[in-house]
Amino acid sequence: MNIRLWIIAAVVLLVLLGGGGSGRAEEDVSSLEKSMSNTLDTWRDARYEELFDQLAHRGKTSREAFVKIMGETTVRPACCWQKMEHFKVINEKSTETTVYVKIGLEGTPASPRSITREFKLTYQEGVWKMRMADIFSIAGVTVTKRSGTKRHKKKTYLNLN
């Protein structure tokens, strides 16, 4: 009889510990999604200096250059429920995570209405950060080096919608 109680207690303990682990994973996904959503909101509100601080892997792009480039783009994230859909964590590590998400876009008529792909988020300074290259890619900006200076040109999109 005493062994049965121990087995039941062990099973209950395992179930409780297993449930706590999945709650933590859901909390992490929520944290990732919220961080990415906040970054897209900052971009949508044209707060480019603040956006610069929210990004990882900024390379040699200065704050001033980033603000100028982003001020010249017409593409921006959509609002509300269209901003992010189908958020899914693909690969999770302690300081880098890959997510798959559909981001709704607004801008010129030639731009696509959304982009669905993988994004890498980097954990820095206690928060998850999108990469600058991803923001440039979404905005349709390519950065090339020529003669030690940076040139920025807009991509042309084919709208199939």
Among 1-10, 47-56, 65-74, where is mean pLDDT lowest? 1-10
- Looking at residue 140, which CATH number applies to its domain? 3.10.450.100
Burial of 99 (0-12, 13-18, 19+ CB in 10 A): buried
Structure confidence at residue 105 (pLDDT): 95
Tell me how far apart the alpha carbons of residues 54 and 36 are, in angstroms, rounded to a whole number: 10
Q: Which residue has the tokens 């997510």?
A: 99
pLDDT in tens, 24-44: 455 567 899 999 999 999 999
Q: How confident is the model at residue 95 (pLDDT cuts 50, 70, 90)?
A: very high
Tell me how far apart the alpha carbons of residues 7 and 26 are, in angstroms, rounded to a whole number: 29
Domain encompassing residue 130: 24-154
pLDDT in tens, 115-124: 999 999 999 9
pTM (2 decimals)?
Answer: 0.72
Give me the number of domains the chain comprises.
1
- Look at residues 76, 86, 58, 55 and name the one whose alpha carbon lies nearest to residue 138: 76
Is 6 within a domain? no
Is 14 within a domain? no
Determine how β-strand 114-124 pairs with β-strand 96-106. antiparallel
